[in-house]
């Protein structure tokens, strides 16, 4: 019988493969263990930063919405429940209030982060709780949160009338006074909500007293607080972008045109 190496080769290969597998398994396990310990250490540090910030501000830890280490300078980004953002170190020994700008790209990293935090899921807005008005063909959309007694909301109302081909959803958001709540409820309960709102915000005609199920106003206030709105007016666009404060019609037209252009790509 002729001698063959095949059985020997098979056994040898099996031995080699087993040895390699044995050598790989501890290595992979060690890497996984190291990664897990690193994640646990990072989590522990973030938890300590959260506690330190809460103690410094003398607020519950739940007010500190998020803590995350950033690549720049070993700093930690802290975001509070009201949307405020600042930076500290792992020992919470100092605070940086301001923008971080990438010197190479000239990007305002803080500004971009705040923009992302301010954005919303536009489709999630309960538009049935808003007063609806349509200019022209109404193809474009703007959502506003407004208090009836807000002076800048009245200026905004004048400008919105100049914007063409837009549907405007206005959430009545009474946060300035009890009278704001009363006016909001009367407008919401009017036979023609849009006409009642326009008559008040544009012409200054006090809405007539009216009664109905105005629970939508309470839900608006709850929604506004959830979205961290502390003043009015606040505007949202179809791409989820948020604008705080009064804007002129030309600015609104430009924003709407940019959103339409992006949607068309």
Burial of 214 (0-12, 13-18, 19+ CB in 10 A): middle
Q: Which residues are paired to 108 by β-bridges?
A: 101
Integer Cα distance of 264 and 139 in angstroms: 14
Q: What is the mean pLDDT of each run of 10 residues along the chain (265 residues)?
A: 46 44 54 57 84 94 92 92 90 93 89 84 96 97 97 96 97 97 98 97 96 96 92 94 92 93 77
Burial of 135 (0-12, 13-18, 19+ CB in 10 A): middle
Q: Which residues are paired to 237 by β-bridges?
A: 142
pLDDT at 228: 86
Q: Which residues are paired to 146 by β-bridges?
A: 172
Integer Cα distance of 244 and 236 in angstroms: 9
pLDDT at 25: 53
Which spans in the chain are helix H?
Answer: 6-57, 109-118, 151-160, 178-188, 193-201, 215-226, 249-263
Look up the pTM and report it.
Answer: 0.70
Cα–Cα distance list, 245 to 84, 105, 156 (Å) = 17, 29, 9
pLDDT at 20: 43
pLDDT at 16: 40
Residue in 239, 233, 227 with CA at minimum distance from that of residue 154: 233
Q: Is-contact 165 256, C-beta < 8 A? A: no
> Alpha-carbon torsion 228, 234, 235, 241, what sign?
negative
pLDDT at 11: 45
DSSP calls for 162-226: T--SEEEEEEE---S-HHHHHHHHHHHTSSSHHHHHHHHHTT-PPPPP--S--HHHHHHHHHHHH
Residue that is written with structure tokens 């608006």 in the block: 220
What is the bridge-based pairing of β-strands 166-172 and 140-146? parallel
Torsion of CA 246, 249, 254, 260, to 10 degrees: 100
The H or E element spanning position 67 is: strand 64-69
Integer Cα distance of 50 and 96 in angstroms: 15
């Amino acid at each position: 019988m002729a001698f063959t190496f095949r059985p020997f080769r098979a056994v040898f290969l099996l031995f080699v493969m087993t040895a390699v597998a044995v050598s790989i398994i501890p290595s992979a396990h060690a890497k996984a263990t190291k990664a897990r310990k690193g994640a646990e250490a990072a989590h522990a540090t973030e938890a300590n930063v959260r506690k330190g910030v809460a103690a410094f501000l003398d607020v519950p830890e739940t007010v500190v919405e998020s803590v995350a280490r950033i690549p720049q300078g070993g700093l930690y980004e802290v975001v509070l429940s009201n949307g405020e953002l600042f930076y500290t170190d792992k020992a919470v020994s100092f605070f940086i209030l301001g923008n971080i700008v990438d010197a190479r790209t000239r990007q305002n990293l803080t500004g971009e982060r705040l923009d992302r935090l301010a954005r919303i899921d536009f489709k999630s807005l309960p538009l049935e709780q808003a007063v609806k008005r349509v200019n022209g063909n109404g193809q474009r959309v703007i959502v506003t949160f407004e208090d009836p007694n807000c002076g800048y909301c009245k200026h905004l109302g004048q400008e919105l009338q100049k914007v063409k081909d837009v549907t405007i959803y206005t959430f009545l958001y009474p946060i300035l006074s009890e009278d704001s709540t009363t006016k909001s409820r009367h407008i919401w309960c009017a036979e023609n909500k849009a006409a009642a709102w326009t008559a008040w915000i544009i012409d200054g005609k006090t809405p007539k007293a009216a009664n109905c199920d105005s629970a939508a106003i309470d839900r608006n206030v709850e929604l506004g607080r959830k979205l961290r709105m502390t003043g009015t007016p606040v505007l949202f666009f179809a791409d989820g972008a948020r604008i705080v404060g009064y804007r002129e019609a030309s600015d609104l037209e430009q924003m709407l045109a940019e959103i339409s252009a992006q949607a068309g790509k």
